[in-house]
Amino acid sequence: LLNPTFLSAQQQFDLTRAISMGVYDALYPLLRDSLKIKWPNDIYYGDAKLGGMLIENILQGSQIKHSVIGIGLNVNQENFPQGAVNATSISKILQRDYELKNILAEICNHIEAYYLHLKAGRIDFVRNLYLSRLYWLNEQHAFKSNGEIFEGIIKSVEPAGMLVIDKEGKDEAYNLKEIEFLNKP
């Protein structure tokens, strides 16, 4: 539970950025350059999903009063349901189990650091770093929107969190439920 009263309702996605990067930084020493953040808030190793997060914000007027943060991360899991075709875990990648308390402590420490960046007004720093760690950034891939499959290139993420994709030479912005990454086998 966080109380980011210093963020406006329009800055909700900045909290998503900070939490995503806190998890990323905690895992980077183990997984290195194959680690990415899949917009908006999933953690990927190559093309496999390690976890994700959900944030529920309680607003008061135009400010965020409280934020409940939920993080799901596959650490020592070996088997996944059949429907989870691109799921993986740290244990599967590195072939050894990890102490959950240690990973949790690292995640909390790194989240706190990014939270303090936001609190200090270093929002552009957080936004730029999030963008630099984005899965499929500046790469051409297949997406699906409104039943249409198309090739596009992720260019940026708007301040409010919409994903910007270059589609046939024109930048299009998408909300969460408007775009699907076609990255599953």
| Whole-model pTM over 0.75 | yes
For the domain made up of 9-132, the CATH class stated in words is alpha beta
Which percentage of the chain shows pLDDT scores above 70? 100
At residue 68, does pLDDT exceed 80?
A: yes
d(CA 65, CA 160): 18
- Among 162, 157, 159, which Cα is nearest to 179's? 162
For the domain made up of 140-181, the CATH class stated in words is mainly beta
What pLDDT score was predicted for residue 184?
79
Domain ranges within the chain, ordered by starting residue: 9-132, 140-181
At residue 185, does pLDDT exceed 90?
A: no
d(CA 57, CA 54): 10
Q: What is the pLDDT of residues 111-156, one digit of tens each?
A: 999 999 999 999 999 999 999 999 999 999 999 999 999 999 999 9
Long-range contacts of 168-176 (CB under 8 A, 24+ apart): 174/145, 176/40
Amino acid at 62: S
